[in-house]
Structure 1
Amino acid sequence: MADQRRTELASALRRTASGDRAALEEIYRSTSGKLLGVVLRILPDRQEAEDVLQDVYLTVWRKADMFDAERASPITWLAALARNRAIDRIRSRGGRRFVSDDVVAEQADAAPLASEQLETGEDAARLKACLEQLEQARAEGVRQAFFGGLTYETLARRAGVPLGTMKSWMRRSLLRLRACLGGAHV
């Protein structure tokens, strides 16, 4: 089932890249709940999160041709777009405003998150094996940043280290993951 869904999404992305509006609608119907959950983990305001989600789908419309099934699963690519757009929104207003996980749990969609989708696919085994090659604290930092939506600033505060140190740890960890995954976008 997961492989079939992955194939369908990849096909819809290819058709979207060719200008097929129905394919974009298919992508939206099957992923919007999950991607809204990703954005809500970063942005506390539902209206703002929905605005960001609209930007995500505009980006998908314009840049679907950039999706590479050899590098990532469709849901992983879409979740990364959503996460990055949400973080860009926070940066554009010059601040960082996050809510507790309790508030997010109340607002987030009940559908599985992108991270849960990833764990059911074939990417999960590769990613898990690569994360296991990292020091445990570094692997957990990557998980919290990319699947939990935490900023490096929050991670640094939790770890009791300077922000620059956390950024260095994360950069090195991501470079190791990229090498392990064979150059895939992380």
Structure 2
Amino acid sequence: MSTQTPSAEIADLIARCALRDRQAFRTLYGRTSAKLFGVVLRILRDRAEAEEAIQEVYIKIWQRADRYVAGNTSPISWLVAVARNHALDIVRARRPQADDLDVAADIPDAAPDPERRMQSSEDGERIEHCLSILEADRADAVRGAYLDGYSYEELAQRHAVPINTMRTWLRRSLIKLRECLSA
């Protein structure tokens, strides 16, 4: 039995994938594919397209595992970002292309500058710390609602509690997070 936290275990699997460890990749896929499939399916809204996309997501994860930097972001957040960005790329590709490519030169770069990236990294660490103070099921519910986009109903079913209880969990958890973050 592993003594690592689930997050540390996923980070270790990603690191081993960067070293081209196929068994680690199989394990990573087994542990994370359902979650990432859910993310992709929510964006694409087509099961067949999501099934194809999730395979492409894992190819990207295999190819880019060496880009994951432990400590900058949680490993599951990095995986979700890869899946989400790939699914959004598919959605964007569905749209007709603009006739005038010169217009693209006038669009400002939305990517954060280095100072903002550093601040975002520090904020992420503070948020993860504050989430760790919450009870595990409450933290999972907050992540599900605000990172993964689950509805109150879906979270209530997932945690086997009434919907009003889920609303209370989320409201109280957000209050605790606000207090922790402002401390």
TM-score range with shorter-chain normalisation?
Answer: 0.5 to 0.7
Question: Identity percentage over the alignment?
Answer: 42
Q: Say how many residue pairs are matched.
A: 110
Which residue pairs with 2:45 in the alignment? 44
Which residue pairs with 1:79 in the alignment? 80
Q: Is the 8 A contact 1:39 1:53 kept in 2?
A: yes
* 1:88 partner amino acid: D
**Distance in structure 2 (CA, Å) of the matches to 1:16 and 1:147:** 24
**Distance in structure 2 (CA, Å) of the matches to 1:125 and 1:4:** 14
Q: Is the 8 A contact 1:36 1:49 kept in 2?
A: yes
> Any unmatched runs of 5+ in structure 2?
97-124, 133-144, 151-180
Alignment of 1:106-125 (within 5 A): 123-125=127-129
* 2:58 partner amino acid: Y
Which residue pairs with 2:148 in the alignment? 147
Per the TM alignment, residue 7 of structure 1 is displaced from its structure 2 partner at its CA by 1.2
1:66 aligns with 2:67: yes
Which whole-Å deviations, capped at 9, do the CAs of 1:84-123 have from their partners, x for residues lacking one?
110000111216xxxxxxxxxxxxxxxxxxxxxxxxx985
* 1:15 partner amino acid: R
**Distance in structure 2 (CA, Å) of the matches to 1:126 and 1:2:** 22
Per the TM alignment, residue 125 of structure 1 is displaced from its structure 2 partner at its CA by 4.0
Which residue pairs with 1:23 in the alignment? 24
1:14 aligns with 2:22: no
Tell which has more relative contact order, 1 or 2 (C-alpha 8 A, sep 6+).
1
4+ residue segments displaced more than 6 Å: none
> Any unmatched runs of 5+ in structure 1?
96-120, 129-142, 150-179, 181-186
* 1:33 partner amino acid: A
**Distance in structure 1 (CA, Å) of the matches to 2:3 and 2:94:** 38
* RMSD of aligned residue pairs (Cα, Å): 3.0
**Distance in structure 1 (CA, Å) of the matches to 2:20 and 2:10:** 15
Q: Please give the secondary structure, in 1, of the residue aligned with 2:20.
A: coil
Per the TM alignment, residue 148 of structure 1 is displaced from its structure 2 partner at its CA by 2.6
Per the TM alignment, residue 62 of structure 1 is displaced from its structure 2 partner at its CA by 0.5
Q: Is the 8 A contact 1:73 1:123 kept in 2?
A: no
TM-score (norm 1): 0.52
State which structure, 1 or 2, has the greater radius of gyration over its C-alpha atoms: 2
